[in-house]
Amino acid sequence: MELVPKNKTAHLYLHEPHRGYHEDSLHRKLNGKLKRPSLLTKFVLSKGRKNDLSIVRKFANHSTFLVSGNSSYSAQRSRDVYGIECGILHPCVDQEEYSNDVGDLINPMKQTTQAEYVVTVGTANWAKATMETISMLSGTGIALAHVGGGTDAEKAQLQKHAKINSVQLWIAPRLSSSELAKVMSDALAIVSMAHKEPFGLTPIEAFSIGTPAIFVDEGGFRDTIIDGKCGRLIARENITEWHAALDQARDSENRKNWSKYGRNRILELKLSPKQQAEKIHQILQH
């Protein structure tokens, strides 16, 4: 910070306050249990937490420096944790990269099963609620495509949990953007029960591809999804409503309407890469 000339503007794109320092999401096992006593974690990380608070506050208090979160939720979290002013700068999506026009590309999921399936994206951990998503699908007959991997131990734990809940689980290998778009395009829905997600690119990727987005009514998902218009936002514990939403995703008229509204939502929020660049330019002109 000291190297930046005093008359120059600097911008910090702060996706969220450091999760390891300021909440316990990263200190939980896949099943949600704490990895160690919380008091021990807080003690070990106390110096790092103080340094993080000091650095971010020092940046934010500079007269020509600005801070943005990537959603209303993450911006408010930064205000609460750091006590700073924080604007909002949504991420962007390249609609050419996330398109349902993938030609004759083979769906790698379909090489394993012909079952109806939903997709969840993100590394296997408690924050992404991978195990909760499997539990939610129990009794539906719907398979889960998990994109994002995890450690061998975590993947084995997911497979065991899926077997107990009679949910067919496919853990995707590394996929190209086109392969991911194909997997998402052929899915019944894209789902997420993630905890405290700062923004979540997956809903707007689903909008771009045209696959229904069914997400937990928490965090940054509220910035993009309008419930019943371009997907569903559902309370975490309301499993009956989750299953009803999956039924709604089967309806061709719903899929058509949600897709159209979702793509308009991308335009409304100005989420293209070019518009993102223009927003950053405006910030730096402050």
Q: How far apart are CA 147 and CA 117, in angstroms?
A: 13
Q: Could you give the strand order of the β-sheet that contains 189-192, starting from the edge strand earlier in sequence? A: 169-171, 143-147, 117-121, 189-192, 213-216, 232-234
Written in H, E and C, the secondary structure of 37-96 is: CHHHHHHHCHHHHHHHHHHHHHHHCCCCEEEEECCHHHHHHHHHHHCCCCEECCCCCCCC
- The structure's pTM equals 0.92
For residues 154 and 110, give the distance between their C-alpha atoms in angstroms, rounded to a whole number: 23
DSSP state of 230: S
Which residue type is seen at 5?
P
Across-strand partners of 192? 215
pLDDT tens digits for the chain (286 residues)? 777 787 889 999 999 999 999 999 999 999 999 999 999 999 999 999 999 999 999 999 998 999 999 999 999 999 999 999 999 999 998 888 787 777 788 999 988 888 999 999 999 999 999 999 999 999 999 999 999 999 999 999 999 999 999 999 999 999 998 999 999 999 999 999 999 999 989 999 999 999 999 999 999 999 999 999 999 999 999 999 999 999 999 999 999 999 999 999 999 999 999 999 999 999 998 7
**Domains of the chain, each with CATH number or no CATH:** 10-89 (no CATH), 108-268 (3.40.50.2000)
Provide φ and ψ at 167, rounded to 5°.
Answer: -115, 125
- Residue 95: CB partners within 8 Å, gap ≥ 6? 208, 263, 266, 272
Please give the backbone phi and psi of residue 11, each rounded to the nearest 5 degrees, phi first. Answer: -130, 130
Strand partners, 12: 67
Residue whose C-alpha is closest to residue 162's, from 185, 136, 184:
136
